[in-house]
A and B are shown apart, each in its own frame.
Chain A
Amino acid sequence: MPPFAESTLDRRLAELGGKTPTRVLVVCGDAMRKKRGEPESARPEETERALSALSLGDAVQAVREADTRGAASGLARASTDAFEAAFADSDEERELFVASVMDGLGARDRLASIATAARARGALGERAGEDVAELVAATDELEQRLQGADAPRQAWTRSLTAANAARRAVLATLTDAAASDAWWYAARIHDDGLLAVLGGLVDADSVSLGEEGKRDVARSRIAGSDALDASAIKDRALGHGDAASDSRANRRSQSDASLREALALASDRSIEADADRPV
């Protein structure tokens, strides 16, 4: 029996279905990104031993095969399900959606673990005099692909606020360095009530919102009906109105003589056609 047979790493590898290069990187990276004392953390010598046992070739292949598209779709799904969590009918339904959110975020988190473990494997190889250039290049390329996958993060994180309690719980287990990189857990973590406010379920004053959340609430105010009337007149005057906006404006004008008058003037093409008359 190897000396680390009962270690956290082996237990987690067994839970994931057995040892493969990708799983070794995920489990080691996870352990390295966790605070000491967390159930999934491990002693540095344990992760070093597990990573050293992984050949450089296997590590390179695992990094190249890292599923960045899967992570992007996991993030998108998490964002959608977080929105559903915010408007769920029951606590039970909300919990199901939040579990799905965390599953989607987990897909992105696993890639962060792979990158962390790959860097560590490279450093070990360098110390041992191995040529690690290929692994370093593959890890650089993975991080670039991740940047692309993360691009719509600003849109996603607003919805993720509906799962803030669960995100906060995971965030608390990460080391400071890992937490500052893990935007999928950390971003908008103080804006718990954002979706409820945007949906008009509660007032902004009655929920916890950070500075970014307060700014979003102010920046997303919806134009009033006066502004929409002005838009209808403009569309009519410029000949831009589509059938839907025309019929909407016509319906609204039934109860608003001033709007009716304005729309009639805007529609009157004889005014421009006649414009060469002496003033």
Chain B
Amino acid sequence: MDSDDDVLFAQVLAARAAGRDPGRILGALLERWRRPAIYVIRRVLASYRRSDAVDPEELFQESACKLVERGLDQFRGHDEEGESRAGAPRTFFLRIVKHAAIDFCRRRREELAAPSPDGEEPEHQGPEVAVAVERARRANDREESVELYWKAFARLRAEHPNEAAAWDLYHHEEVGEHEACAKALGITVVNSYKRISRAQAHLRLFLLELRDGTSSET
């Protein structure tokens, strides 16, 4: 079964590389993976006590979209590094499914935790499909922003390590105040302010270059 998956998946990648539409083969492959994917989704939903919060089929479709939009390229990148492993495409897809389910549950928890502006819950959320599409769009935008952010941060670390260290401490490790940051880095508080400002300006310039497609990142 896994070797059949590998063959079909290789055909999908080959079709994409040749500029052909891999839709039919991919559809067949996703049908084979539907049952284990639904299992993964149900298990994650159960862990979060959200079993009734969403139709698992919706998350399966969202995962399929992620596989098509980004996953195929990501998987291909991994494949170049080492030998092909039997069953790897299926496991890779199930991990995308798991991530989508975890992400949904965390999002859902945040939505439930946030009070509505007028203190009343809306009677209904609008057409389900539109809501799902909008949610998927926002999730994709957010993922793209985050991906670009880490690329920009990697460039900051390579080109301006002192600023990157200060930024990492202040924002990623959430030290959050300059006195502690300065102490940890062995610099003055003024220099901590300066490094964070410079880091932020560099990061935002790098982000713009990445969005423009003109990054000189090596």
Q: Taking beta carbons and an 8 Å cutoff, which residues of A are in contact with B? A: 83, 86-87, 152, 154-155, 158-159, 195, 198-201, 216, 219-220, 222-223, 225-231, 233-234, 237-240, 245, 248, 251-252, 255, 258, 261-262, 265-266, 271-272, 274-277, 279
> Nearest chain A CB to B178's CB is how many angstroms away?
13
Number of A-B contacts (CB under 8 A): 145
Residue of A nearest to B145 (CB): A223
> Which residue of B44, B149, B168, B214 is within 8 Å of A265 (Cβ)?
B44
B174 and A155 contact, CB distance less than 8 A? no
> Which residue of B94, B145, B200, B209 is within 8 Å of A198 (Cβ)?
B200
Q: What separation, in Å, do the CA atoms of A228 and B42 have in the docked complex?
A: 25
B28 is an interface residue with CB less than 8 A from chain A: no
Q: What separation, in Å, do the CA atoms of A275 and B197 have in the docked complex?
A: 48
B149 and A251 contact, CB distance less than 8 A? no
> Which residue of A220, A251, A255 is within 8 Å of B204 (Cβ)?
A220
Q: What separation, in Å, do the CA atoms of A228 and B174 have in the docked complex?
A: 12
Q: Given the known A-B contacts A233-B103, A266-B98, are A275 and B36 also in contact in the complex, defined by CB atoms under 8 Å?
A: yes
A155 and B205 contact, CB distance less than 8 A? yes
Residues of A within 8 A of B209 (CB): 154-155
Residues of B within 8 A of A271 (CB): 40, 43-44, 94, 98
Residues of B within 8 A of A229 (CB): 106
> Nearest chain A CB to B106's CB is how many angstroms away?
6
Q: What separation, in Å, do the CA atoms of A30 and B95 have in the docked complex?
A: 63
B197 and A200 contact, CB distance less than 8 A? yes
Q: Given the known A-B contacts A154-B214, A226-B110, A227-B146, are A234 and B204 also in contact in the complex, defined by CB atoms under 8 Å?
A: no
B216 is an interface residue with CB less than 8 A from chain A: yes
> Nearest chain B CB to A140's CB is how many angstroms away?
25
> Which residue of A155, A195, A240 is within 8 Å of B201 (Cβ)?
A195
> Nearest chain A CB to B176's CB is how many angstroms away?
11
Residues of B within 8 A of A265 (CB): 44, 47, 98, 102
> Which residue of B40, B103, B196, B205 is within 8 Å of A275 (Cβ)?
B40
4 nearest CB pairs, A to B: A275-B36, A199-B201, A220-B204, A237-B99
Residues of A within 8 A of B92 (CB): 238
B172 is an interface residue with CB less than 8 A from chain A: yes
B207 is an interface residue with CB less than 8 A from chain A: yes
Q: What separation, in Å, do the CA atoms of A277 and B102 have in the docked complex?
A: 20
Residues of A within 8 A of B40 (CB): 271-272, 275
Residues of B within 8 A of A86 (CB): 201
Most chain B CB neighbours (cut-off 10 Å) among A154, A198, A252:
A198
Additional A-B contact list (12), CB under 8 Å, known A228-B149, A230-B103, A271-B43 = A83-B202, A152-B216, A155-B205, A155-B212, A158-B208, A199-B201, A223-B145, A225-B171, A227-B145, A228-B172, A231-B150, A238-B92
A237 and B146 contact, CB distance less than 8 A? no
Q: What separation, in Å, do the CA atoms of A237 and B193 have in the docked complex?
A: 35
B37 and A234 contact, CB distance less than 8 A? no
> Which residue of B102, B168, B197 is within 8 Å of A87 (Cβ)?
B197
Residues of A within 8 A of B96 (CB): 237-238
Residues of B within 8 A of A255 (CB): 174
Residue of B nearest to A277 (CB): B39
Residues of A within 8 A of B208 (CB): 155, 158, 216, 219-220
A198 and B201 contact, CB distance less than 8 A? yes
Q: Given the known A-B contacts A222-B204, A275-B36, A279-B38, are A227 and B197 also in contact in the complex, defined by CB atoms under 8 Å?
A: no
